Structure 1
Amino acid sequence: MDHTKKRFGKKDAVFIGLLLIIAILIFFFTNYFQKETGAMVTVTVDGKVYGTYDLEKEQTIDIKAGDKTTNILKISDGKAKMLTADCPDQLCVHQQAISKKNQTIVCLPNKVVAEVTGNTKKDYDAVVQ
């Protein structure tokens, strides 16, 4: 009589499947349902802050390097989207609109980064002396 054990059976496959489903649910819950909606978008050009803009205010921002407009960022419906860029690859233009804290749009050729910051306009309620 052969007493060799099966290395991988039906119960093992079910167990691994359940673990994968749980991992996927945790991933989606933490990445899509728990992110805070940001209130501001900070634009940097070549590592220097170009400006900070309210996501609640509809506006179009011309981002300039020197006297030349390199990118145009549009804020509407609480989201920021790169409308145009003069770079050849246009990857930043094809990125999705951002509205959650720490989401970014990056234009590498122009060294432009737009990042959603904070869930409030100020990090403090009052100043006490």
Structure 2
Amino acid sequence: MKKKEIFFIAGLLVLAGVMWLGFRLSGQRSHNTIRITVDGKEFGTYSLDKDQVIHIGDTNVCEIKDGKVTMIEATCPDHYCMKQKAIDEHGGSIICLPNKVVIEGEDTADSSESEDSPKIDAVT
């Protein structure tokens, strides 16, 4: 290999490392609350700091305990929502499709982005 090729490859590796570190640091947000929606309408927002049991209509029951949220009861036939990973300060979501219930971690920290700025939710 020539000297120019070695510098080019080293530069690409350094650039990739810097970009990886930037994405890693920017992705560490604290989700202090959860937001529950039923059929697309907001049911409520709850703090992860307070242990409580939340009855979501007549269909689901979730529990906040030790800063983690789990679905403990559901009337859906498959109970996949009860098997999903708990939501904690790192975020996540629990979805019950038959009952149209969505529980998701919500970032309550002040953000430098405005409400009008576009949010990217997927990359294809």
TM-score range, shorter chain: 0.5 to 0.7
Number of positions where the alignment pairs a residue of Structure 1 with one of Structure 2: 106
Contact in 1 for aligned 2:84/2:94 (Cα 8 Å): no
Structure-1 residue corresponding to 2:88 = 98
- Secondary structure in 2 matching 1:9: helix
Question: Within 5 Å, which residues of 2 pair with 1:1-129?
Answer: 9-32=5-28, 35-38=29-32, 40-64=33-57, 67=58, 69=59, 71-83=60-72, 85=74, 86=76, 88=78, 90=80, 93-99=83-89, 103-107=91-95, 109=97, 110-115=99-104, 116=106, 118-119=108-109
Please give the alpha-carbon distance, in whole angstroms, between the structure 2 residues aligned to 1:73 and 1:117. Answer: 19
Q: Note closer, same or farther for the CA distance 1:91–1:25 as it changes in structure 2 (3 Å cut).
A: farther
Q: CA deviation at 1:60?
A: 2.1
- Secondary structure in 2 matching 1:62: strand
- Secondary structure in 2 matching 1:80: strand
Amino acid at match of 1:118: T
TM-score relative to the length of structure 1:
0.61
Please give the alpha-carbon distance, in whole angstroms, between the structure 1 residues aligned to 2:12 and 2:73. Answer: 46
Please give the alpha-carbon distance, in whole angstroms, between the structure 2 residues aligned to 1:11 and 1:91. Answer: 51
Please give the alpha-carbon distance, in whole angstroms, between the structure 1 residues aligned to 2:20 and 2:70. Answer: 28
- Percent identity between the two aligned chains: 30
TM-score relative to the length of structure 2:
0.63
Structure-1 residue corresponding to 2:120 = none
Q: CA deviation at 1:20?
A: 1.0
Cα RMSD of the aligned pairs, angstroms, is: 3.1
Please give the alpha-carbon distance, in whole angstroms, between the structure 2 residues aligned to 1:13 and 1:89. Answer: 50
Unaligned runs of 5+ in 1: 1-5, 121-129
Amino acid at match of 1:99: E
Unaligned runs of 5+ in 2: 111-124
Q: Note closer, same or farther for the CA distance 1:113–1:31 as it changes in structure 2 (3 Å cut).
A: same
Q: CA deviation at 1:42?
A: 2.2
